[in-house]
Amino acid sequence: MNLKTNTLSDEQLFEQYKKQRKAYRKSITFWQLVIFAAFFISWEFASRMEWIDPLIFSSPSKVGHLFAEKLIDGSLWFHLQVTLLETIIGFVAGTLLGIILAAILWWSEKLSKILDPYLVILNAMPKVALGPIIIVALGPGYVSIIAMGAIICIIITALVVYSAFREVDENYVKVLKSFGATRWQCFTTAILPASFPAMISTLKVNVGLSWVGVIVGEFLVSAKGLGYLIVYGFQVFDFTLVLYSLLVIAILAALMYQLVEKLEKWLIKNTAG
């Protein structure tokens, strides 16, 4: 046995290694599918056997039926589109405003020192608690909901990006200053691109946060969207509807996360070489 492996060429060893890797990856996917299937099968089974209350926990088949029904009558698309749009706008606005705030803090160190305790408090405060005030101030519509999606990620983005700005080696700025660069040029040529990785990683966090903000906003406004469906389902005691909405949100959030990850890979490849 030992003798046999020793006689393998490097090429063959590499083939062997590749085969092992492939088998390993296959087994990972296999177990992921097993968990997926086991979850839904046991859910369905438990519901049919009434081990869990079918009224509250519904069952995959009921949710699936509802899904098909809503797909056909177009209301899936209607609510999904509302929520998705609000989330994307909230996410983009929150991230951009956070980065702008970070830039302002970087610009004036004094201002950042002055604002420091307030930023800490704002960051620690649960932003969704501001919901009722926002809705009264901006009216019970999509503007409020987008604002919730944005507000929830502004402060954390600003803090993370600002600390990334500060960690940029000041000697890069020194290089630029030796060419007579203005402060704005230093910012755009050195600070901003050097902080790119940090900014991209906040994107990933913000995707999740914006969903929370928007769904809570829809809870409160209760007019349309997936968050509204959840509240409505709860009020009429239709938990199939609640679970259906939850499932759609989970799928959308996962897709959006994947998209941001793709964007991250692309940006890193195209900006850092």
Partner 1 sequence: MSFLKLNHISHQYFHDKGYTKSVDNISMAIEEGAFISVLGPSGCGKTTLLSIISGIIQPTHGEVLLRNQPLSNTASGIGYMLQQDYLFPWKTILDNVLTGPKIQSKETEQTKDKAIQILHEIGLANVVHSYPKSLSGGMRQRAALARTLMTDPNLLLLDEPFSALDYQTKLKLEDLVSSLLKEYNKTSILVTHDIGEAIAMSDRIFLMKANPGEIAEIFEVPIEIRNLQPFQARKHLKYQLLFDRIWEELNELENKHPV
Name the minimum Å distance from CB 177 to partner 1. 5
Q: Rounded CA gap, 195 and 202, in Å?
A: 11
- Give min distance, CB of 169 to partner 1, in A: 7
CA separation for the pair 262, 189 (Å, rounded): 25
Q: Measure the CA–CA gap between 184 and 142, rounded to whole angstroms.
A: 36
Q: Which of 166/177 has CB closer to partner 1?
A: 177
CB of 189 to partner 1, least distance (A): 7
Q: Which is nearer to partner 1, 168 or 214 (CB)?
A: 168
Give the Cα separation of 188 and 184 in Å (integer).
Answer: 6
CB 218 within 8 A of CB 196: no
- Nearest-approach distance from CB 181 to partner 1, in angstroms: 5
Burial degree of 267 (CB within 10 A; 0-12, 13-18, 19+): middle
Residue listed under structure tokens 């759609």? 248
Q: CA nearest 211: which of 98, 76, 86, 92?
A: 86
Quickly count: other Cβ atoms within 10 Å of residue 176's Cβ: 19
Nearer of residues 41 and 268 to partner 1, judged by Cβ: 268
Residue placing its CB nearer to partner 1 in the complex, 74 or 180: 180
* Least distance in angstroms from the C-beta of 193 to partner 1: 5
By the criterion CB under 8 A, which residues form the site for partner 1? 169, 171-172, 174-181, 185, 189-190, 193-194, 196, 271-273
CB of 183 to partner 1, least distance (A): 12
Nearer to partner 1, 1 or 272 (CB): 272
Which of 133/263 has CB closer to partner 1? 263
CA nearest neighbour of 207 among 159, 173, 255, 168:
255
